[in-house]
Amino acid sequence: MLYVLSGEDAYRSRKKLRDIEDRFYAVAGGRESAVRIVLSESSRLEVEQVLTTGSLFRNKRLFILEEPSAAAADAAVYLEEKLPLLVKSDDIYVIWDRVPTPKQGFFAAAASSAVKAQEFKRLTAQESARFLDEEARMRGISPSSVQKRRILMDAGGDSWRMVQELEKAAISPPSKYLTGELIPASSNDDRAIFSLMDAYGLSQRAKAWQIYNTLVHAGMEPEKIFWRLLSHTRTLLSIYSLMQRGAAAADIPRAAGVHPFVAKKAAVLAARVSLSDLTGKHASLVNLDFQAKQSRGDVALGLERILLNLSI
C-alpha cells in the first residue's frame, strides 16, 4: 500500500505523516516495525537492504521514504523498478518530500500509482486566515485582530511560520500578547521593510545593509526581517507574473491577494528588475528558509551573507 505526500507546505505534510505514523503504531502495537529512509542520504545498496530485510517483531511494516527528489540516480531507478511490488504489498509505504510532485521519474510514477497522493501547496490568503484561526483554537490562544493581521502579513502562506508565531504567543504573558507587544506594528518599520525590499531587489548592497542594521538596532529580530523580506519577494514574483500576462493594474491587488498600496509598490519595482535576477534572489531566501527549518542554518547569519553578497 503506497501513499505520497508532497508540496512546499512541509508543516502540513509533516502533520499528515505524523497522523499516519500514529495510526500505524496504535494498530501495530509498537514502533519496532517502522523504518525511515532519507533517500537523499542513502545509497542504492542501503535502500535495497532496508526494503528487503524482514522484521523479527511484526508481520506488517511501515516504510517512510523521504526526499525522493534528491535520491541518487541508481537508487531512484531501483525504486521505480520495485514500484509495482510496493503498491501491491501489505506493508505500508509513505513517500514524503517538501517539493511539488515532478512530471517524470520514480517520484511521479509513485504519485500516479499511490492509493492516495496529496500535494500540500502554499496556502492562499483566505486559507492562511482559516489555518491561523484553527491553529489558534487548538492552542487556546485568542489573538486580537491586529495580531492576526500582523501574523498574516509577516507569515501568510507559510503554515510553519504562522504556527511558530502562535507558539511564541502561547508562552508569552496574555496581557503582553493581546496588547500587541509581541509583534510590533510600527509604520516606520513597515516603511523600512519596503525600502529594504527595494534595495534588495535592485541589488543595492550598501543601502540594503544599512537599512537591515537600522532595523536590527531598533529592536526588530533578524528572523522577522527575513520573513518579511521573503514574503515581499514572493509577492513581487507573483505581481511580476501577473504583469507579464497582461493583467490590468486594477485587478492585480485582488489577484495577488495583497493591499493595493503593496501591489503598487511591487509593480514599480517589478518593472525595474529582470525575471532571472528576481528568481535568483527568491531562491536564495527560500534556500535559507529550508536550511533554517532543518536546523542546518542560522537565519541571522544567512541573511547577512545574502545581503553582503549582493552584486552592487
Look up residue 62 and give its three cell numbers.
Answer: 511501515
Closest CA to 3 of 77, 68, 47: 68
Distance (Å, whole) CA 91 – CA 141: 40
pLDDT digits (tens, 9 = 90+) for 177-225: 433 443 344 556 667 888 888 889 888 888 888 898 888 888 888 888 9
pLDDT recorded at residue 182:
37
pLDDT recorded at residue 181:
40
Distance (Å, whole) CA 265 – CA 140: 37
pLDDT recorded at residue 188:
65
Residue 239 Cα distances to 153, 186, 247, angstroms: 16, 25, 9
- CATH code of the domain made up of 187-308: 1.20.272.10
Look up residue 9 and give its three cell numbers.
Answer: 507546505
**Phi, psi for 148 (deg, rounded to 5):** -60, -45
pLDDT recorded at residue 308:
85
Look up residue 245 and give its three cell numbers.
Answer: 500576462
Which of 62-66, 94-98, 306-310 is predicted with the least confidence, judged by mean pLDDT?
306-310
pLDDT digits (tens, 9 = 90+) for 148-161: 887 887 788 888 88
What angle, rounded to 10 degrees, do the helices at 159-170 and 125-139 form?
A: 30
The per-residue DSSP string of 197-240 comes to HHHHHTT-HHHHHHHHHHHHHTT--HHHHHHHHHHHHHHHHHHH
Residue 269 has pLDDT above 50, yes or no: yes
2-119 and 187-308, same CATH topology: no
- Tell me which of 3.10.180.10, 3.90.1150.10, 3.40.50.300, 1.10.340.30 is the CATH number of domain 2-119: 3.40.50.300
Residue 195 Cα distances to 164, 181, 235, angstroms: 26, 23, 15
pLDDT recorded at residue 171:
59
Distance (Å, whole) CA 149 – CA 114: 39
List the domain boundaries for the chain: 2-119, 125-178, 187-308
The partner residues of 62 in beta bridges, in order of sequence, read: 34, 92
pLDDT digits (tens, 9 = 90+) for 107-136: 999 999 999 999 999 888 889 999 999 998
Are the beta carbons of 71 and 96 closer than 8 angstroms? no
